[in-house]
Each structure stands twice: as structure tokens, then as C-alpha cells.
Amino acid sequence: MSIEPGQINPALPNPAAMEFLLTRRSRPAKTLTLPVPDRDQLSPILQAAARTPDHGKLEPWRFIVLSRPALERLAAQATAGAEAAGLAPDLVTKAGLQFSDSHLCVAVVSVPRSTEKVPEIEQTLSVGAVCLSLLNAALASGWGANWLSGWAAHDAGFGREALGLRPGEWVAGFVHIGTEGIAPPERPRPDLDAITDWVDA
């Protein structure tokens, strides 16, 4: 098999990529500061995120890039919306802080496609893969990043009024990106033996 210049042979191991995946660590969103990636720096991160499993090539997702002015607007709308929804005061505060603490955020929006070939659950799984790919691409590019959801992601009224979501669309995650401060300590990881069954016959 011939490999064109610039191509990577998928059959060859990539120890650096494997080391990254084994040591990757999300950064707490509230600790992310300036600077943030500009449009030219963010574009390849988005491109990497879109290079994800997508049965039927439906692209059942899209991105909304939220800069600081938009985040300030969303913070006010989220606070007001959470209050109107009757959330507890701490949850109201949390809903607003997700945006007021952020300097750059990418909303990953689920866009279900009507098709008999690809069940909606498979499209939803593809959207989740996009969120993780976006998170990892940002981390691999040297930025701090975190994937959050919360009330603002799940409230249809907020999505429609604050983000302009169309009928049927919903937010799979808000991926906040910025410069990390002090790296957080390693967190406990799953016990592989407890979650893995080996079936040999």
C-alpha cells in the first residue's frame, strides 16, 4: 500500500497519540482564562471534532462558537431563565456562571436527521463522539478544555431563545476552551477489571 506525502498509515502504531489518550485530563471550566484560540486556531480543532463516526454521513450535529460578548448575554439569559423555571438559588447561580466565567465556548448542537437507514440513537451517539473529539482536539492543541451540560443544555426554551435552536435540535454539550492555570490532580479512574468481560467462546 502506497502512502501519499502527508498521509499517516493507520496500520502503524502512534505511541504519542496513545500516551495522550491515556493521560488526557479535562480542566475545570471555571479555571480557564485568557488567552483563548482565535478563529484560525479554533478551525482545525473543529475540523478534528467533525472527523468522527457518522453512520450514513448525515452530519447530525453543528457548532455554535460563543465569544465573550455572546457569553455575557447568555449568562444573563441563563440566570433569568433558571430563576423563572424555579430552580434552587445555587442552581440559578451555577447556570449563569457557566457562561460568565467563560471566555470561549463551543455549543455542540444535535441536529437529528429524518432517515429510515440510521436510527436516531445512532445519530445521538455520533453527537456525543463529536463532543469528546472536540474536547480532546482542544487538549491536544495545548489548550485547557471542559465539556459541560447542565440546565442550559437541557432547557428547550433557553436553547430556542438564547441560541436560536430550530425545532428538534438540542445541545449535547458546551465545550469551554481557554488557557489552563494550575493542572488539577489526577482523578480516580475506572477499575478495568470491574467493567470488562472477556468472552473467548
What b/e readout covers 158-193, taking b as 16+ CB neighbours within 10 angstroms?
A: bbeebbebeeebbbbbbbbbbbbeeeeeeeeeeeee
Residue 46 counted as domain residue: yes
Residue 114 counted as domain residue: yes
Quick: pLDDT tens for 128-154: 999 999 999 999 999 999 999 999 999
Residue 84 counted as domain residue: no
The answer to whether 100 and 75 are in contact (CB under 8 A) is yes
Among 74, 59, 141, 144, smallest CA distance to 107 is for 74
Quick: pLDDT tens for 76-109: 999 999 999 999 999 999 999 999 999 999 999 9
Among 48, 43, 59, smallest CA distance to 20 is for 48
Residue 36 counted as domain residue: yes
User: What's residue 187's pLDDT?
Assistant: 86
The answer to whether 63 and 108 are in contact (CB under 8 A) is yes
Q: d(Cα 101, Cα 18) in Å, to the nearest integer?
A: 32
Q: Which residues contact 26 (CB under 8 A, 6 or more apart)?
A: 135, 139, 145, 146, 147
Residue 95 counted as domain residue: no
The answer to whether 66 and 106 are in contact (CB under 8 A) is yes
Domain residue limits at 127: 26-67+104-154+164-181
Q: What's the distance, CA 195 to chain centroid?
A: 25
Residue 147 counted as domain residue: yes
The count of structural domains within the chain is: 1
The answer to whether 158 and 92 are in contact (CB under 8 A) is no
Quick: pLDDT tens for 152-185: 999 999 999 999 999 999 999 999 999 997 777 8
Residue 125 counted as domain residue: yes
Kindly report the CATH number assigned to the domain that includes residue 133. 3.40.109.10
What percent of the chain is predicted at pLDDT more than 90?
90
User: What's residue 191's pLDDT?
Assistant: 96
Residue 32 counted as domain residue: yes
